[in-house]
Amino acid sequence: MSTKKTSSFRTQALSVLTVRHGREVAEALRASAIRKLLHGEYKYIQAAVMRLESGEVTDERVLHPLETVREKIGQLLPAEVIGSKAEFIHAGYDSEGDIWAVATVPDYSGRGTELQAIVSKIERFLEVRQKLIDEALGERLYSSLLR
């Protein structure tokens, strides 16, 4: 019984997290100048934004518009690179603790930084959304095995 409670709590927590990340994506898209970049596709994307704002995070109709935004930003980002910079990244752990590495990453203009932030939010949302779906499907499978 405690496994079911733990699993249910985890699913609820993932649900809240997914809704929060969806809302953050929606807010970022509304606040950005993405409307100008997407021309005729913006109404299509706006429908997905409205779904995310209302918490409809598992609705399949949000996926394609978000992928469209990601692809469009991917096409625009190379033009926004103004140089490169070194950043510390967490590479893992060993017996002595954290392992850090230095990576050379693009340095973006202000607009590029904004666009990259949108992509990061979309990717994080999609990752958490998939975890939620996997958790829910796992719960359903577990329940069916107990019958």
Directed axis angle between helix 2-31 and helix 110-146, to 10°?
160
Per residue in 24-75, pLDDT (tens digit) is 999 999 988 777 777 777 788 899 999 999 999 999 999 999 999 999 999 9
Please state, in angstroms and rounded to a whole number, the distance separating the CA atoms of residues 115 and 123.
12
For all residues of the chain together, what is the average pLDDT? Answer: 90
| Candidate from 36-40, 71-75, 93-97, 121-125 with smallest mean pLDDT | 36-40
Per residue in 104-113, pLDDT (tens digit) is 999 999 999 9
Looking from the CA of 38 toward its CB, the CA atoms found within 13 Å total 23
Decide if 145 contacts 42 (C-beta within 8 A): no
Decide if 22 contacts 57 (C-beta within 8 A): yes
122 pLDDT band, cuts 50/70/90, is very high
DSSP state of 56: -
Q: Which two tokens stand for residue 29?
A: 């898209």
Domain ranges of the chain: 2-146
131 pLDDT band, cuts 50/70/90, is very high
pLDDT at 5 over 70: no
Decide if 91 contacts 140 (C-beta within 8 A): no
Q: What is the pLDDT of residue 1?
A: 46
Strands 97-108 and 81-94: antiparallel
pTM here is 0.83
